Amino acid sequence: MRNLTSKRNSRGGNGRIFGSLVGELQQRLNRGEWQPGDHLPSITHLAHTFGVSTGSVREALRSLQSQGYVRIEHGRGVIVISNHGSTGSETPQCIDIHNVVALGEARRLIEPELAALAAERGSDSEIAEIREQAITMEQQALRGTDFVGPDVAFHRAIAHAAHNTVLQHMLNSTHELFLASRHLTSQEIGMTERAIRYHRLIADAIFERNAGQARLLMLAHMNDALSSILVLAAQHDTLTNIHPPVQTTTTPA
């Protein structure tokens, strides 16, 4: 049994835990430990095996599904469809940071409206789920355990409660970029604490059916996240200019 939570106390540890979980599952699939047609172990079993939350296992499985490794079927579990995924699929660590910046700009346009719609349209049970994910993220972060699952689930719950299938599909279609963005921003000192505070405030505004406040708080949250990504992108560009990629040429035989 490989426990991944030993990394949690380092800077950006939770982002690396999630990346390690996806990577470990990919390696096991690549080795053929599970063959096409096999069912993966239950989410609870995988969470216990790797020492992470069930929420993070769910997000990791969604990542593997988007990469063509597995298919998630409600009532049947997770079924392996390929040991090598779809060609051209990218892990969160491989995605171009400038695409992550573009995602941050798109989320800044979409998510404040989703929050406002959730406040107006969400059922009591859907809003309770939003608050529960915000509380769970805070509790797991305070314990120093993996919190990526409830972090991502919080935004998914808001999109679901908004009851706008087009906007929800737009957000869900950016799953890999979303995970890459979370992986990057988790490395900034203080970012997780700010995200927790925003999540609680946004959840409270939605609970109070205050659409305007929910919109403004989500916009502030998105601006904060985008600012962090822009700083990381600038640092990436600086390093790239200092150490440009080596250009290889081939000599005709």
**205-243 tens-digit pLDDT:** 999 999 999 999 999 999 999 999 998 888 877 766 665
Q: Share the mean pLDDT of the chain.
A: 84
- Confidence at residue 87, expressed as pLDDT on a 0 to 100 scale: 47
For residue range 46-55, what is the model confidence (pLDDT) as tens digits? 999 998 888 8
The yes-or-no verdict on residue 9 having pLDDT over 80 is no
> In the Cβ-directed half-sphere of 177, how many Cα atoms lie within 13 Å?
18
Q: Is 7 exposed, middle or buried (0-12, 13-18, 19+ CB in 10 A)?
A: middle
Structure tokens, 251:
């000599």
The yes-or-no verdict on residue 252 having pLDDT over 60 is no
Q: Residue 78: which H helix or E strand, with range?
A: strand 77-80
Task: Specify whether the backbone of 34 is left (phi greater than 0), alpha (psi in -120 to 50) or beta.
Answer: beta
The predicted-structure confidence for 174-193, as pLDDT tens digits, reads as follows 877 887 787 778 777 888 89
Higher pLDDT among residues 76 and 246, named by residue = 76
User: Which whole number is the average pLDDT over 24-44?
Assistant: 92
Q: Which domains does the chain have, with CATH numbers?
A: 14-80 (1.10.10.10), 92-241 (1.20.120.530)
Please say whether the beta carbons of 236 and 97 come within 8 A. Answer: yes
210-220 core/surface letters (b: 16 or more CB in 10 A; e: else): bbebbbbbbbe
pLDDT at site 88: 45
DSSP-derived letter for residue 79 is E
Give CA–CA dist 126/131, Å, rounded. 9
Furthest CA-CA distance within the chain: 73
Give the separation between CA 155 and CA 192, rounded to whole angstroms: 15
Ramachandran angles phi, psi of 72, nearest 5°? -95, 120
Residue with tokens 């239950």: 42
pLDDT at 122: 97
Q: Is the dihedral of CA 48, 51, 55, 59 positive or negative?
A: negative
What's the rounded mean pLDDT across residues 167-175? 85
pLDDT per position as a tens digit, 111-146? 999 999 999 999 999 999 999 999 988 988 887 776
**Residue 94: what pLDDT?**
59
Tens of pLDDT, residues 57-88: 988 898 888 778 888 888 889 999 888 865 44
- Distance from CA of residue 102 to its chain's centroid? 16
Place of tokens 């106390």: 9
Nearest to 55 by CA among 63, 64, 47: 47
Q: Which of 67-71, 96-100, 125-129, 249-253 is predicted with the least confidence, judged by mean pLDDT?
A: 249-253
Task: Give pLDDT, residue 13.
Answer: 54
- 């988790």: which residue's tokens? 186
Per-residue confidence (pLDDT) for residue 15, from 0 to 100 = 58
